[in-house]
Structure 1
């Protein structure tokens, strides 16, 4: 029986969605039956063994769709292997050091007993939605700071731990 994984994301300008897509590709490459979907469009998490929730960080807040998804599905998610990620720093800091989760992601981690949270660099380019985003771009603080090698390595760890947990028949769930 294959492991079913969901990568749900909250993304306004598409950068976080692209990180989620890469995570989904890596999980599939390792044999996990994986879906990648916007968090607002996921109705039921019951079919999944592993859930990755990602949210963009804007003005110090985890994306609303990621927060709502975590709250709406908290009961079921608390019994699954859940991993969280954020994207957002518009500099190289996420590649240089571990960045703790913002408050919304930290609360989700605690409520869901998540395995881990990881922050990746963000991306903000010309044409971004929102007054603040446009002002950041105009001031020269935009750019693409995503490190897809780091995203890939993290997704490989999720796959390896998920497959390892499945290989342990005495365990009741996929938590590591």
Structure 2
């Protein structure tokens, strides 16, 4: 059963990377081999048995590294179990209700036959890179809205599905 899982992510300020690491930890605890890697640094997805791809949301779009990853590795992704996640809302909405994927992610899901997508709350804190991020923080709209219990429960479902 030693399934090798790639958790690739696109992040600007590290919040989505922390979500990917949490997912990877749960997969490993479930007996799987798992790597969390920045999407831009993955040369090939072909050596993995299953893939999870995540990206931060910026102005209604998935992080460019996540978008490029699913485009570049589309053939390999379509041939293996695939899950997608987004991180982004800077409010508690992602913990309160299901948030549908943004249009670009929805198209990728259909094209690659992804098993599931989930949107987790985002995190934007002081020191974030980017003009827009600084403006959001200046307007008092930052904070950490990630629900690690929700993230870990989702990862555990993936682990269980891959174990069966």
Normalised TM-score (structure 2): 0.99
Which residue does the alignment assign to 2:3?
A: 3
CA contact (8 A) 1:95 1:120 kept: yes
For 1:42 and 1:102, locate their aligned partners in 2 and report how far apart those are by CA, in whole Å. 24
Which residue does the alignment assign to 1:100?
A: 100
Report the CA distance between 1:115 and its aligned residue. 0.2
The answer on 1:18 being equivalent to 2:18 is yes
**Runs of 4 or more above 4 Å deviation:** none
Deviations 1:50-98 (A, max 9, x none): 1000000011110000000000011111010000000000000000000
Q: Which structure 1 segments of 5+ residues have no match?
A: 165-176
SS in 2 for 1:37: strand
Report the CA distance between 1:47 and its aligned residue. 1.0
Q: Which structure 2 segments of 5+ residues have no match?
A: none
Which residue does the alignment assign to 1:167?
A: none
Larger CA Rg, structure 1 vs 2: 1
CA RMSD, aligned part only?
0.6
For 2:10 and 2:86, locate their aligned partners in 1 and report how far apart those are by CA, in whole Å. 9
Q: How many aligned positions are there?
A: 164
For 1:136 and 1:21, locate their aligned partners in 2 and report how far apart those are by CA, in whole Å. 26
For 2:156 and 2:138, locate their aligned partners in 1 and report how far apart those are by CA, in whole Å. 36
